[in-house]
Structure 1
Amino acid sequence: MSATYVPLTPAVVAHDADGRLFSPVYGDVYHSPSGGLGQAEHVFLRGNGLPGRWRGRGSFTVCETGFGLGLNFLALWKAWRDDPQRPAALHVVSLEGHPFSRADLAALLTRYVPEPLAELAERLAAQWPALLPGLHRLEFENGAVTLTLGFGDAQVLAPRLKARVDAFFLDGFAPERNPRMWDLSLMRALAALAAPGATVATWACTGALRQTLQEAGFDVRRAPGYGGKWHMTAGVAGAEGRSAAPAPRAVQRHAVVVGAGLAGAGIAQALAGRGWRVTVLDAGRAHGAPTHAGHLAAALTPVLARDDNARARLSRAGSERALARWQGLPGGAAPRVCGTVQVERDAGRSAALAGTLEALAFPAEWVRQVDRDEASALAGLPVARGGAFFAQGMLVQPGLLIEALLATAGVAVLPGEVARVVPAGQGWSARDASGAELARADTVILANAAGARGVLSDSGLLGPLPRVAQMHALAGEVTLVPAAALGGGPRCIVGGEGYLLPDVGAGCVVGSTYVHDAAEARIGVEGQRVTLGKAAGLLSGPLPDFDALVPGSLPGWAGWRAVLPGRLPAVGELPHAPGLWLAAGYASRGLSWSALMGDLIAADLSGEPSPLETDLAQLISPR
């Protein structure tokens, strides 16, 4: 077990003798005896000069330590709503080491939240994420209000945040009860996020705390307190030593996205949703075949790792982002949350899986171990072995999904195959093989899978990117099986060595193959023998109708995967080519990365807090 992984410990609902919400871990109450809303307004809003300080601003970012029940966030959100001079966007980043479960939070909000905040509290509870470590992005008011929740130790999370913070709400339990929430290293990590002119406020007011804040780079003073407390602390961030995310470059809010597959479509939706004009150049359309046309179904299932490594963390974040971004899409484009039974590779892995789940301590409603009988009951088919059940496993129809994402208002799709990019003014010009300009913008994003390597090479930009230079294309195919051959098909995704998907109306998709050094991606007898064999290996026979299927006689789909060493994507701005971005190498996890990487790039370009921790962003940065 990795020494760096610490399981999340949820909050326990408890009350003190006076009926106040109380933390048995820290021996302290959650909010002022005089009322959480009054404290939020006096200490945190007025203590930070709000709402006045945000007026006339395009966006405003708040960072909070100690989310608790979210009363500060709800009060801030209401103040934003009530202010006709509010900024167009309000971003809140809040760290919470011991979050409540959704059921507990909903019940507590009903009990403790005053009427003016009740409607907003219901919206918060409805979006509350599963209790999984890491960052969780929630969006309200059509994305104008975002809440990035960091579940885990603030000491670990704060140095991994990327944000330009305008106001800090320091609201952990009392310094004498939870000193780690007020120590110098954490305060320095927060001060490093401060934008010019940032302010700070907290109800706590000891000489030692003010000294710590001064050392960290905040210029603080005592101010009149709230609810019987003589004093609180307020101040501003000093200018020295700041390493906050740089302000976004002043660019035209127009981007050219090269590639109209899962990567390009995810980026297009994310940018257009923030008011950008997006031009997507699609080589597939130029050749008369849109990317993923005919790709009827695929699965999106998170990855588990005992040490919760980067791939597992990224896939979890990607799954959550995909559901949030795509669940409102029309028709068959929206994911179908049907769950995934991930079958163990062999019967001897049961104890190892149990140990992994115990070490991770993820909520059982998100992932749990199932034996063969329960796995079969969930699938509605006899499966070969037990395994893990992911309740959030999603069936996605890639062709429909991509078309819906590209239909986002503000996105224009043009046929065109980009051969190279050349500097043009402040930005870049995308040219075809004849040298003709296809489009230009201050921001150009190469999202054309393995084709991006060729564009970079022919543009003289591949040299500083040795990992990207190793990107290669792997062919693969999936097979469409009549649902009747599987008794109507499984009720959920069945995965493991290969996968078997529920009926999408035209049949059940089984997959997939991995073909190295292929000259073309095509459907064939050998490929179908492999896909049918993988599906059979997940099931416990006999299945006469399935076993009678003839390889080479079935419809299917074939395509390419762009694979990088380590099987993590390359996403970010090229350090040696400002304004030129890369989003490629999604391998066989295009659905996992599409929405997350779109939001990562769009948040960076728009100056928002990042939805991804900096250690993960660094691992996938182009190099």
Structure 2
Amino acid sequence: MSDNYEALIPAQIAFNEQGVPLSTTFGDVYHPQWGALEQAARVFLHGNHLPERWQGKETFTVCETGFGLGNNFFALWQAWRGDPRRSSRLHVLSFEAHPLTREDLQCVVMRTLPEPEKALAAQLIDAWPPLLPGLHRLEFEGGRLTLTLAFGTVARLARQASAGVDAFFLDGFAPRVNPDMWTRALFGQLVRMANSGATMATWCCTGDVRRGLRDAGFLVSKIPGHGGKREITVGVLRPGMGRYCSPGAGQEDVLVVGGGLAGAGVAHALAVRGHTVTVMDPVFAQGLGASHKGHIAAAITPVISRDDDIRSRLSRAGVARALHRWQGLEGEARPLRCGTIELVSDAARAAVRRESLARLAFPSEWVRWLDVAEASQRAGRCLASGGLWFADGQRVQPPALIEALLSHPRIRCMAGEASSLERDNAAGWIAMDAQGNTRVSAGQVVLANAAQAVALLSTIPGILRRPKFEAMYRLAGQVSFYSGADGDSTRVVLAGDGYCLPAQHACFVGGSTYLPDAQTSEVTVQGRADINKKVAGLLNVIPSRLTRSSNAADGWAGWRAAVADRLPVIGRIDEVPGLWLACAYGSRGLSWAPLAGDIIGASLNQEPLPLERELLRSIFPR
């Protein structure tokens, strides 16, 4: 469990007599009176030799300590998009302990920015995340520009962030009021993330700051300042320090083994980054979405825990990635963002949940408590209890979603089974069938074939034992289909003991069962009876009121693969180059699929990673 939870405290903005915005928390201005954009250009861009240093590069990454009002980001964005020789991709990692709410951000930046930057600010405001602690990845310019916002104290999150940084903008409030932004420990974490030749710039010229930067590894000097600043501080990482950044990020072909949700999520995330991807699975003989054929609908919903544990943090990160990745899909592939009510009928459990909400201090637009009347109004029917309302709950149609993800023009789907894998120094990875014939070769390979990944990994020489992964097990389960229009089911996802989804095409889905020792996964009479009780309880009706769907099938059955801690297994196999796992998704495949794709894609393309290091460790193959 997370023992260092920090509730996020939003910024409080005021304006001084000159009309410059200031933080009431720190009693300091966000930028000098002579202009935020001018400071960004003269201190941070000029001090880091931009735009010259990104020109002709595939990717370039900036790290900023103190996002504030976003002025440095807008100036950087404007300079990058206006440079015909700009890097192909630009990534920004920015820390902020006290972010503005969307409403305050809009009020301030639209009041202070000139017109060209207002157009950029409008895009940021539209994408602005809820004020939840942790990392939030935003994408602009068709994904060529990314902004990873780290919401929380920099002392904690600098240790948790992963990136290969080329330029640092040190722009916290003054050391006298905000000393945590200028510590030697922080500078050490920045150097940990620095690429070879990384530069830094800051308006701050105090002796302690300059000495701290030197001790961390920067060659520091002063150059003439501007406005009220006689000098500013700049620096470059000492030779021999920093990460090596390979020049060809994003160009390798990738083989993904497995054509279900896990494989489709990874393949799509890599394809949108420019990789050519081959997805291999025998199920493609029946169609691209055949792994979930007949699975009418499923749900994706975040969870919370009293201490904001690993599972809760991973869950909200996955749901956020799903919203970003999948809301742009068309037709039935696009998830319905209908919201979820997690019903809590027991008074003692309800008290615990409400106490958790108060402790976590999450924004009410993301999660809040509904009493029974409010819950009934949301659901469009009379419920027996209230519960937690998650605005980001979604209903998903798995076959349509998988087919849309795999239909990207850079993805090729191949019907067939990989029986073994070999590493060839010239060709990279080679997948062979049962007869030993080569089927596919690629520079990188991702095993996303659930429980079958254990056997396939064992065919590779030199792989170390991974006891948790090797103990992966399968769970059979089924869902049931019911007849009913919207008024007979629910307008939202209802969750608790089981779940019930909004109707579509006069049919709604209820679930589900978990059978750990089953030999087959099939729809059974007993399974349907168990689900009837759960759905009836959620809908506040007697089980006999539920009517079977006119659909030819009573339901759908499938398998879940899981490991002991019920967390996914996602990450690189370190012993051999270019081998990844993305499996053991259990009953949360819709949460983990987009998250896994972005973790692997960001790693391959030298982007800031979308998760904290402790979360990445929790899902690392072991």
In the TM superposition, 1:313-328 aligns within 5 A as 313-328=313-328
> Any conservation in 2 of the 1:192–1:241 contact (CA below 8 Å)?
no
2:270 corresponds to: 271
Q: 1:519-542 CA deviation, whole Å, 9 max, x = no partner?
A: 111111111111111111223235
Q: Does the CA contact (< 8 Å) of 2:322 and 2:594 recur in 1?
A: yes
Provide the residue aligned with 1:258 in structure 2.
257
Secondary structure of the corresponding residue to residue 382 of structure 2: coil
**Unpaired segments ≥5 residues, structure 2:** none
> Offset at 1:238?
2.1
Q: Distance in 2 between matches of 1:591 and 1:278?
A: 21
Amino acid at match of 1:25: T
Equivalent residue number for residue 433 of structure 1 = 434
> 1:554/1:57 Cα in 2 relative to 1: closer, same or farther (>3 Å)?
closer
- Rounded to whole Å, the distance in 2 between the matches of 1:578 and 1:345 is 51
Tell me the distance in 2 between the aligned counterparts of 1:603 and 1:2. Answer: 25
Provide the residue aligned with 2:572 in structure 1: 573
2:224 maps to a residue whose letter is P
- Which whole-Å CA distance do the structure 2 matches of 1:405 and 1:494 have between them? 27
Mapping for residues 175-574 of structure 1, pairs under 5 Å:
175-239=175-239, 242=242, 244=243, 247=246, 253-286=252-285, 290-344=290-344, 346-426=346-426, 427-459=428-460, 463-484=464-485, 487-542=487-542, 545-546=545-546, 555-574=554-573
| Corresponding residue pairs, total | 620
Offset of residue 417 of structure 1: 1.3
Shift of residue 283, structure 1, vs aligned partner? 2.1
Tell me the secondary structure at the aligned position of residue 26 of structure 2.
coil
Contact 1:431 1:437 (8 Å CA) reproduced: yes
Q: For the residues of structure 2 that align with 1:424 and 1:506, how far apart are their CA atoms?
A: 53
| 1:380 Cα deviation from its structure 2 partner | 1.0
Shift of 1:506: 4.6
CA distance in 1, matches of 2:282, 2:346: 42
Q: Distance in 1 between matches of 2:535 and 2:550?
A: 13
Cα 1:550–1:196 shift into 2, 3 Å: closer
CA contact (8 A) 2:340 2:392 kept: yes
User: How do 1:43-62 residues align onto structure 2 when only pairs under 5 Å count?
Assistant: 43-62=43-62
- Judge which range, 125-134 or 531-540, deviates more: 531-540
Give the equivalent residue in structure 2 for 1:622.
621
Indicate the SS of the match to 2:614.
helix
Per the TM alignment, residue 549 of structure 1 is displaced from its structure 2 partner at its CA by 5.2
Render the CA deviation track for 1:403-450: whole Å, top value 9, x for unaligned: 000011200001011222112235211122222222111101100111
Deviation at 1:48, TM superposition (A): 0.4
Q: How far off is 1:345 after superposition? A: 5.4
Tell me the alpha carbon deviations over residues 582-615 of structure 1, each in whole angstroms, 9 at most, x when there is no partner: 1000100000011111010011011111111111
- Residue type of the alignment partner of 1:450: A
Partner of 2:68: 68
Post-superposition CA distance 1:195-252 (Å, at most 9, x none): 111100011111121111111111111111122211111111224664x586488785
Distance, in Å, in 2 between the alignment partners of 1:54 and 1:424 is: 34
What's the CA shift string for 1:303-332, capped at 9, x where partnerless? 101111111111111000110011110101
Q: CA deviation at 1:577?
A: 2.3
Aligned-partner residue type, residue 558 of structure 1: A
CA shift at 1:13, angstroms? 2.2
Q: TM-score scaled by structure 2?
A: 0.96
1:285 offset after TM fit, Å? 2.1
Distance change >3 Å, CA 577–CA 285, structure 1 → 2: same
Distance (Å, rounded) in 1 between the aligned partners of 2:533 and 2:549 = 11
Percent sequence identity over aligned pairs: 50
C-alpha contact (below 8 Å) 2:276/2:410 kept by paired residues: yes
The secondary structure found in structure 1 opposite 2:136 is strand
Q: What is the CA-CA distance between 1:125 and the residue it aligns to?
A: 0.6
Tell me which amino acid in the other structure corresponds to 2:93: V
Cα pair 1:337 1:392 within 8 Å, conserved: yes
**Which is further off, 550-559 or 311-320?**
550-559
Question: Where does the alignment leave 5 or more consecutive residues of structure 1 unmatched?
Answer: none
Match of 2:95 in 1: 95
Aligned partners of 1:479 and 1:511 also within 8 Å: yes
**2:127 & 2:250 partners in 1: Cα distance?**
33
CA distance in 2, matches of 1:241, 1:472: 44
The letter for the 2-side match of 1:295 is H
Q: Residue 525 of structure 1 contacts residue 552 of structure 1 at CA under 8 Å; is this kept in 2?
A: no
The question of whether the paired residues in 2 share the 8 Å contact of 1:248 and 1:607 is answered with no
CA–CA separation in structure 2 for the residues paired with 1:113 and 1:56: 30
Whether the 8 Å contact between 1:526 and 1:551 is mirrored in structure 2 is no
Cα distance in structure 2, aligned partners of 1:115 and 1:252: 37
Partners of 1:291 and 1:539 in 2: how far apart? Answer: 30
Matches within 5 A, 1:117-132: 117-132=117-132
3-state SS, counterpart of residue 95 of structure 1: strand
SS at match of 1:137: strand
- Structure 1 residues 543 and 621: alpha-carbon distance in aligned structure 2, compared to 1, 3 A threshold: closer
In structure 2, what is the Cα distance between the partners aligned to 1:124 and 1:553? 47
- Cα 1:550–1:276, aligned 2, differ >3 Å: closer, same or farther? closer
Q: Which residue of 2 aligns with 1:86?
A: 86
Deviates more, 1:551-560 or 1:182-191: 551-560
Letter in 1 for 2:412: A
Q: 1:10-49, aligned counterparts within 5 Å?
A: 10-49=10-49
Contact 2:138 2:148 in 1 (8 A): yes
Instruction: Kindly indicate whether the alpha-carbon contact (under 8 Å) linking 1:428 and 1:440 is maintained by their aligned counterparts in 2.
Output: yes
> CA–CA distance in 2 between the matches of 1:229 and 1:550?
73
Change (3 A) 1:122 1:194: same
Output the TM-score relative to the length of structure 1: 0.96
Kept in 1, the 8 Å contact 2:62–2:167? The answer is yes
CA-to-aligned-CA distance 1:473-502 (integer Å, 9 cap, x gap): 111111111124x73320110001110000
Partner amino acid, structure 1, of 2:57: R
Counterparts of 1:81 and 1:236, CA distance in 2: 25
The answer on whether the counterparts of 1:37 and 1:114 sit within 8 Å (CA) in structure 2 is: no
Does structure 2 conserve the Cα–Cα contact (< 8 Å) formed by 1:421 and 1:455?
yes
1:449 maps to a residue whose letter is A
Q: Quote the Cα distance in structure 1 between the aligned partners of 2:235 and 2:2.
A: 40
Counterpart-to-counterpart distance in 2, 1:425 and 1:287: 35
Q: CA deviation at 1:190?
A: 0.6
Q: Is the 8 A contact 2:454 2:469 kept in 1?
A: yes
Instruction: Assess if the C-alpha contact under 8 Å between 2:476 and 2:518 holds in 1.
Output: yes
**Matches of 1:468 and 1:175 in 2, distance apart?**
47
Asked if the contact 2:270/2:277 (under 8 Å) is kept, the reply is yes
Matches of 1:324 and 1:552, distance apart in 2: 32
Give the SS at the match of 2:476: strand
User: For residue 135 of structure 2, what is the aligned residue in structure 1?
Assistant: 135
Write the distance in 1 (CA, Å) between the matches of 2:120 and 2:326.
23
Q: Which amino acid aligns with 1:225?
A: G
Conserved? CA contact 2:483–2:548, under 8 Å: no
When structure 1 is superposed on structure 2, of 102-111 and 220-229 the one drifting more is 220-229
CA contact (8 A) 2:250 2:605 kept: no
> 8 Å contact 2:249–2:606 — kept in the other structure?
no
